[in-house]
A and B are shown apart, each in its own frame.
Chain A
């Protein structure tokens, strides 16, 4: 199963990077969201999948899934949420101010 999840995270990275290379701001943000999904899945897969019960202590269980990657991913989800929302508002403001969301037109002063 880890192999399939690795492939899936590879697919997420591929589509994320492809979106990142587009010209429109919205696509770029979708790309970053896809890449962070891919990274979260990647971390989870690295910590081995399905080797026991959910990491909540119970009396009759002696094998739990690895809790550490989960804690890391939880932190990462929150941070990427913060960044994505900031990016979105930034894109909204940039598009409003410049009246375009095309990255080719949003270049430095020299290229105007």
Chain B
């Protein structure tokens, strides 16, 4: 099983080599083998005696992350969809993409996606699941942006990336919480610990995180906005990723975790509520679209909403219906996308307003489209699978348990009406899709290409899918016991038996279907009279606008925030740095009661030192006020010499010596440089400028004084200097303790201090000597 998952990835490594010969053989022909082999590998698992299969491979045992794969009914349904439709899409793409395209890149991305998707549905380890989940986002991003020279492709790719990765990260949060609570990373073991999860204080958070991940991936309201923009991708990609597989990853996730969540009434409220809302909104918006793929995108959104709603119902029948509809939707939607691609390919446009009357020119495509669209609309004919799942949907929407939450109860009562409403619009756009394209007037002069029937190779894939529609429609029980029942069992955790029949007798679901057909037909025929309603709802309102504003706002506001403090002014940065030092140190001192003041351990008061200190202080203050640069330098010298005087008074002869010498050299240097520096300007700065400077500098000085006083007053340990005093002669062999410390006890400091001086000297030499002028070049 692990090979089945990684074969596409492995094969993707060889695709670039194969694509070198694409002029002779289309690369897709090689690739076609892969999904086909996987499909054949998984076919034998179908059958009434199906038992889940589990395999495990070590990956990171210390983190409890291993490549655990679990094949149950739910995974099997998805695996077959992924590989089966994958094979058909590859076949279709061979005829759709010309050899002059970048075929290597296309098939590498496609195979990457296939691996990722197989990994998502088969993983039992939550972190492996998440890894594959993000890989689907990335490969989908690459595929949407396949024609990256187009503005629209890049926009759509970025949008889908941002939204699905946002959801993916939230999913990761939920999975981590689940792991922490249950102590396991295996989904099956988590399901076994449902009680622990339900009683955990983080339950609502987990649910919110995981739902967010699922809803963004499956394009549920209001995260559906990325899907219509993802239609910029090549049509095989739209057919594969954005109708049959990736957008169902969210559905898969909800289904996978529903044994844990479905006992909570919030599960019903949120999943069904959002699902039914998505169903209605998606189908309502689909009618307005003029682009064939746009219609199909919104139709996908609404159908996903319907599946989501059924999963939310949580009854056995509803779950069965959901699983059945996953299969049905993949068949008819895949084929409809392919037909839309054929129409695009053969006429040069996807704009439904320019199309019309293509039935006689493209009879086979038209026939296939009729079957697909009628199945999507749920027209009650015994050879369309869409009808069965739609009728089951109506049936289960009526038979819901009465919940205790008031909001959930209101939703329960509203659901049948909303279901019918959404289905009416579904009927309308389905009819619009086929009749708008294939019947009516011909506008051949408006078409860029003269239309004709597609090559036979292009028609094979949609034909096989439509065949699936009809076969499931005619013999629904073919897939029932052996296949869908296992899926439903895996989702609900209980055994499910259901017999699908076409004719139930005169019961409410039949009336609902009839209402849909009658009202839908009426609305379709008179659509010109009521479509003005779109000017009011949604009118100017659009979630795309919200998204665009958000992305734009994020950029402008972050730029504003950065510009507000990064203004390239040294002064601003110094104020920020010193201001925060002052603020945080004061806060720390106050909050920890850190200030101490004792006078019992002070040196004797001496008038000489006070006079020196006073002179230094006055000189330091005058450096600020003088306007003469020579004066400023000389006053600075006063401070330095005063300091060396203090060193003498405080019994530090070496310091005094060094300070004297250094101060003299520094003064000389200052005097060397000052000649080249302009005169100090008159100080005409504003009062605010001076006040800020004053507050900051006085604050800092005060802080340092307080820190000094406080730390002098609270000495907790004896200094270690006695060691130096005692051992200076014995170990160091010298009488001058300071010098012994410098070169003997702590010689490394001195070594690097010498290095500092050396580097400074070299740098100065470089600065003075090396001139790299633009003119010299």
A interface, CB within 8 angstroms of B? 1-30, 33-34, 37-38, 40-42, 44-58, 64-68, 70-71, 73-75, 77-79, 81-86, 88-93, 95-96, 100-104, 107-108, 110-111
Contacts and interface: CB of A to CB of B under 8 A. Distances in A.
A6 B712 contact: yes
10 contacts: A8-B613, A9-B705, A11-B621, A50-B603, A50-B650, A56-B737, A88-B670, A90-B767, A101-B678, A111-B568
A2 B602 contact: yes
A77 B658 contact: yes
Contacts of B673: 26, 88-89, 91-92
Interface stretch (B30-38, B72-80, B533-541, B661-669): B661-669
B613 A5 contact: yes
B708 A46 contact: yes
B772 to A, nearest CB: 10
Contacts of B570: 28, 103
Contacts of B705: 6-7, 9-10
Contacts of A44: 646-647, 650, 652, 655
Contacts of B669: 84-85, 88
A94 to B, nearest CB: 10
A85 to B, nearest CB: 5
Given A11-B701, A15-B697, A48-B603, A24 B750 contact: no
Interface string B731-752: 0000111100110001001100
Contacts of B685: 23
Majority secondary structure, A binding face: helix
Contacts of A40: 643, 659
Interface in B692-742: 692-694, 696-698, 700-702, 704-705, 708-709, 711-712, 719-721, 724-725, 728-729, 735-738, 741-742
Nearest to B736: A56
Contacts of A49: 603, 650
Interface residues of B, number: 97
Contacts of A102: 681
B624 interface: yes
Instruction: Specify the main secondary structure of chain B where it touches its partner.
Output: helix
B652 A38 contact: no
Q: Closest 10 A-B residue pairs measured CB to CB?
A: A14-B701, A10-B705, A82-B760, A6-B708, A17-B697, A18-B697, A107-B568, A55-B737, A71-B741, A1-B603
Interface string B429-455: 000000000000000000000000000
A110 B566 CA distance: 12
B548 interface: no
B571 A21 contact: yes
B624 A19 contact: yes
A66 B617 contact: no
B546 interface: no
A10 B701 contact: yes
Contacts of A46: 708, 711-712
A54 B651 contact: yes
A9 B704 contact: yes
Interface in B278-321: none
B651 A55 contact: yes
Contacts of B404: none
Nearest to A71: B741
Given A15-B624, A107-B568, A8 B617 contact: yes
A49 B736 CA distance: 18
Contacts of B22: none
A41 B643 CA distance: 8
A68 B677 contact: no
A34 B647 CA distance: 16
Interface string B628-665: 01001100100110010011011111110011001001
Interface string B60-71: 000000000000
A71 B609 contact: no
Given A26-B680, A37-B639, A91-B673, A50 B651 contact: yes
A68 B613 CA distance: 23
A70 B568 contact: no
B632 A17 contact: no
A24 B624 CA distance: 12
Contacts of A101: 677-678
Contacts of A14: 697-698, 700-702
B696 A17 contact: yes
Contacts of B640: 33, 37
A73 to B, nearest CB: 6
A50 B678 CA distance: 44
Given A10-B701, A24-B677, 6 more contacts: A9-B704, A40-B659, A48-B712, A66-B719, A67-B738, A68-B724
B139 to A, nearest CB: 39
B659 A77 contact: yes
A108 B693 contact: no
Contacts of A92: 673, 676-677
Contact of B681 (A8, A24, A30, A56): A24
B627 to A, nearest CB: 11
B685 to A, nearest CB: 8
Given A15-B620, A26-B677, A100-B678, A68 B720 contact: yes
A28 B574 CA distance: 11
A2 B662 contact: no
Given A45-B712, A79-B756, A67 B725 contact: yes
Given A24-B681, A40-B643, A77 B704 contact: no
Given A1-B605, A49-B603, A77-B655, A21 B693 contact: yes
A52 B623 CA distance: 35
B507 interface: no
Contacts of A57: 725, 728-729, 735-737
Given A2-B712, A18-B697, A47-B719, A34 B639 contact: yes
B760 to A, nearest CB: 4
B776 interface: no
B559 interface: no
Given A7-B705, A85-B666, A92-B673, A67 B767 contact: no
Nearest to B622: A15
B610 A27 contact: no
Given A54-B653, A88-B669, A92-B677, A10 B697 contact: no
B54 interface: no
A22 to B, nearest CB: 8
Nearest to A17: B697
Contacts of A81: 662, 665-666, 757
